[in-house]
């Protein structure tokens, strides 16, 4: 069993990409004083608390050349965001408000400004760091004109792959993590491109962090494959649920609840592959189009978030999307996905001004119903625009009814024996009696749903 930190059971993540969120310059000049832009994140803490957020996934924080995933120094806060004192102050503010801090761990590669790579550029074959980089050879030239070649991340030669088998590299990375824990109090890592990391490296990382901080959480970015190859007792606690990410929006945009229903059954149903693994669920992030831009009707955001907060796993919201903020990437640019946003402006004028309150309402409902936090899952019925499933523990059974259609509709499902009726905990505690083991609901509102706790 892949034992999880206790706090993950009730975790609700907010995801911020700090360089964009804080309005930092696109390029790091590597000179001058640090500019403390992290205070802007602290200004958003009351908003996070209103939503119910209790964990922040914070994108790249440490000194980098441009976008944060091209690390220059793991021990220095990116001067475009602030300094170590600024990060300590932010971490203290988050923790004093009951918000845990999980940061990006970018360990597959570094940027060309990484200090050890600069030493190789300067000293060539005599550099003591020549073995720090994967595939480094002095029998050719790199696309940048270096008198050597090296392995890159997927052909992007501004990202130099580290040699994860080198003990000195591991020691350097692990000591950086130790510093992040001891000085900044971080509670976990989201491992960038975890699917590219060596399994042995992740095993060593899990062993190190388990000893360093027993309730530390490791979550990896994984897009394809069997998630159990990464999320298991020896490696990571969880991974990104990209399969359900896609189904969350396309099942609505295509009027095809069968898609997400199939995925949830495959993942979490009676024979589900990932039963017991709290996958990291999200509707969008810093790499993909905003979910509001992927839907044909903004009203579909409401059943989407209702599903996000009632399905198995750990829910996460990407900053701005709780207001229905839209953005699409282009083949050349993705900075529009990572904007600086003004909280005061959003609270008075936004695409979906009522959505944040409904997100908070859904989170409070999830907390109030243990079956939604970690109960089992079973599909009850599915149609193109209607979907019903059960979540249950030994002490509680909850029926979730979703209607993505344009008009209200009745829904009817068979439920387990031993119950006399159900109370809709989402919509004013309306009571519905059971008839011959069938839950009959006269109307489920358009673009909404019901969350019914069965009673004996």
DSSP one-letter string for 283-340: S--TTS--HHHH-SSGGGHHHHHHHHTTSSSEEEEETTGGGT------SS--GGGS--
For 177-197, the pLDDT digits (tens) are 999 999 999 999 999 999 999
Cβ count near 330 (within 10 Å): 8
**171 closest CA partner among 160, 159, 179, 183:** 179
3-state secondary structure of 71: strand
Q: Tell me the CA distances in angstroms from 343 to 5, 19, 214, 340, one per residue in order.
A: 32, 16, 36, 10
Q: Quick: pLDDT tens for 31-57.
A: 989 999 999 999 999 999 999 999 999
The position carrying tokens 């390029």 is 27
pLDDT computed for residue 278 by the predictor:
97
pLDDT for position 2: 87
Q: Give Cα 424 distance to the centre of its chain.
A: 29
Q: In 3-state terms, what secondary structure has residue 191?
A: strand
pTM of whole model > 0.75?
Answer: yes
Report d(CA 21, CA 132) in Å as an integer.
Answer: 33
Going residue by residue through the chain (456 aa), what tens digit of pLDDT does each one get? 789 999 999 999 999 999 999 999 999 999 989 999 999 999 999 999 999 999 999 999 999 999 999 999 999 999 999 999 999 999 999 999 999 999 999 999 999 999 999 999 999 999 999 999 999 999 999 999 999 999 999 999 999 999 999 999 999 999 999 999 999 999 999 999 999 999 999 999 999 999 999 999 999 999 999 999 999 999 999 999 999 999 999 999 999 999 999 999 999 999 999 999 999 999 999 999 999 999 999 999 999 999 999 999 999 999 999 999 999 999 888 999 999 999 999 988 999 999 999 999 999 999 999 999 999 999 999 999 999 999 999 999 999 999 999 999 999 999 988 899 999 999 999 999 998 899 999 999 999 999 999 998
> To the nearest 5 percent, what fractions of the chain are helix, strand and coil?
35, 25, 40
Altogether, the residues listed in the chain come to a count of 456
pLDDT at 146: 98
Beta bridge partner(s), residue 31? none
Please provide residue 58's backbone torsions phi and psi, each rounded to the nearest 5 degrees: -110, 120
Sole residue written with tokens 């597959």 = 108
Chain segment 220-232, per-residue pLDDT in tens: 999 999 999 999 9
- Separation CA 93–CA 80 (nearest Å): 20
Domains and CATH numbers, the chain: 6-371 (3.20.20.80), 375-455 (2.60.40.1180)
Q: What is residue 117's predicted lDDT score, i.e. its pLDDT?
A: 98
């Amino acid at each position: 069993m892949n034992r999880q930190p206790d706090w993950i059971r009730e975790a609700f993540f907010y995801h911020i990409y700090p360089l964009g969120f804080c309005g930092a310059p696109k390029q790091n000049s590597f000179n001058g004083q640090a500019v403390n832009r992290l205070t802007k994140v602290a200004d958003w803490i009351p908003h996070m608390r209103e939503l119910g957020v209790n964990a922040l996934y914070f994108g790249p924080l440490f000194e980098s050349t441009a976008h944060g995933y091209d690390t220059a120094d793991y021990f220095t806060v990116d001067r475009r965001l602030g300094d170590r004192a600024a990060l300590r102050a932010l971490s203290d503010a988050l923790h004093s408000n009951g918000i845990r801090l999980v940061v990006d761990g970018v360990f597959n590669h570094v940027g060309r400004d990484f200090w050890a790579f600069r030493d190789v550029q300067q000293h060539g074959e005599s550099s003591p760091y020549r073995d720090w980089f994967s595939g480094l050879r002095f029998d050719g030239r790199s696309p940048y004109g270096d008198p050597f070649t090296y392995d890159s991340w997927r052909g992007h030669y501004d990202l130099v792959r580290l040699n994860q088998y080198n003990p000195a590299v591991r020691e350097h990375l692990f000591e950086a993590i130790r510093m992040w824990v001891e000085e900044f109090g971080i509670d976990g890592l989201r491992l960038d491109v975890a699917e590219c990391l060596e399994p042995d490296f992740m095993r060593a990382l899990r062993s190190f962090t388990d000893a360093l901080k027993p309730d530390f959480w490791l979550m990896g970015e994984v897009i394809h494959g069997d998630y159990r190859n990464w999320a298991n007792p020896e490696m990571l606690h969880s991974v990104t649920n990209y399969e359900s990410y896609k189904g969350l929006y396309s099942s609505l945009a295509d009027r095809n609840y069968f898609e997400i229903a199939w995925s949830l059954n495959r993942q979490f149903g009676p024979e589900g592959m990932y039963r017991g693994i709290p996958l990291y669920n999200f509707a969008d992030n810093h790499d993909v189009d905003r979910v509001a831009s992927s839907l044909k009707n903004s009203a579909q955001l409401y059943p989407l978030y209702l599903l996000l907060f009632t399905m198995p796993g750990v829910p996460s919201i990407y900053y701005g999307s709780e207001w229905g903020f839209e953005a699409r990437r282009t083949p050349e640019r993705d900075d529009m996905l990572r904007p600086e946003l003004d909280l005061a402006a959003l609270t008075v004028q936004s695409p979906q001004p009522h959505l944040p309150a409904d997100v908070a309402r859904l989170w409070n409902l999830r907390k109030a119903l243990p079956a939604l936090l970690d109960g089992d899952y079973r599909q009850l019925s599915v149609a193109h625009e209607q979907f019903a499933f059960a979540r249950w523990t030994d002490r509680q059974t909850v029926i979730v009814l979703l209607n993505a259609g344009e008009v209200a509709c009745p829904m009817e499902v068979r439920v387990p024996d031993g119950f006399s009726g159900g109370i809709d905990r989402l919509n004013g505690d309306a009571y519905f009696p059971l008839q011959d083991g069938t839950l009959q609901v006269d109307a489920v509102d358009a673009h909404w749903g019901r969350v019914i706790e069965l009673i004996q």
